[in-house]
Amino acid sequence: MLNDFTFAFIKPNAVKNSNIGPILSMINKAGFRISAMKMIHLTISQAESFYAVHGEKPFFRDLVKFMSSGPVVAMILCCDNAVEEFRKLIGETDPARAGEGTIRKLFATSLQMNAVHGSDSNENAIKEAAFFFSEFERYYS
Ligand code: CMP
């Protein structure tokens, strides 16, 4: 289904730890098709905009600092029921609570540096994909 996608990125800690390859391999093996992908180093103000919904949270400033500390690998991932399926693959936000074999269990270094982000709803997947990608950078399969 053309619209069945989610937005994801591999966070700076996983990029620095050379875990892009293993994470992409898990994503492909789980049946997702990558319909857009780019490596980008967010500015502080871009990280603030992306996580604006958490603006009042006590961890916001540290999160922004972390997310602008190095490049991320942003992706649009397609499969049936993509938002839910991807959240199953990555596990709980807190890696201490993530299931065995999930991406966060395997590659997160802390609650903040939890290796990957995945949209939490179809509405947010649309907004987040548009934050990173133009229509010309997306390939439907
Ligand atoms: P993510 O799925 O990208 O969505 C928001 C991010 O905020 C989350 O992953 C974590 O990186 C971070 N986060 C959420 N809760 C906390 C917390 N209690 N302390 C520090 N960072 C958090």
Per-residue pLDDT of 63-100, as tens digits, reads 999 999 999 999 999 999 999 999 999 999 999 999 99
CATH classification of 2-127 is 3.30.70.141, yes or no? yes
Percent of the chain with pLDDT over 90: 94
Checking if the pLDDT of 10 tops 80, the result is: yes
Average pLDDT on 18-29 reads 98
C-alpha span between 61 and 8 (Å, rounded): 21
Return the SS3 of 96. Answer: helix
- Integer angstrom CA distances of residue 82 from 31, 75, 125, 130: 10, 12, 10, 16
Return the SS3 of 113. Answer: coil
pLDDT at position 2 is 47
Task: With both helix axes pointing from N to C terminus, report the angle between 82-90 and 122-132 in degrees, rounded to the nearest 10.
Answer: 80
Atom 14 of ligand 1: nearest residue by CA position: 112
- Quote the pTM value: 0.95
**pLDDT category of residue 141 using cuts at 50, 70 and 90:** low
Ligand 1 is surrounded, with C-beta below 6 A, by 54, 59, 63, 93, 111-112, 114, 117
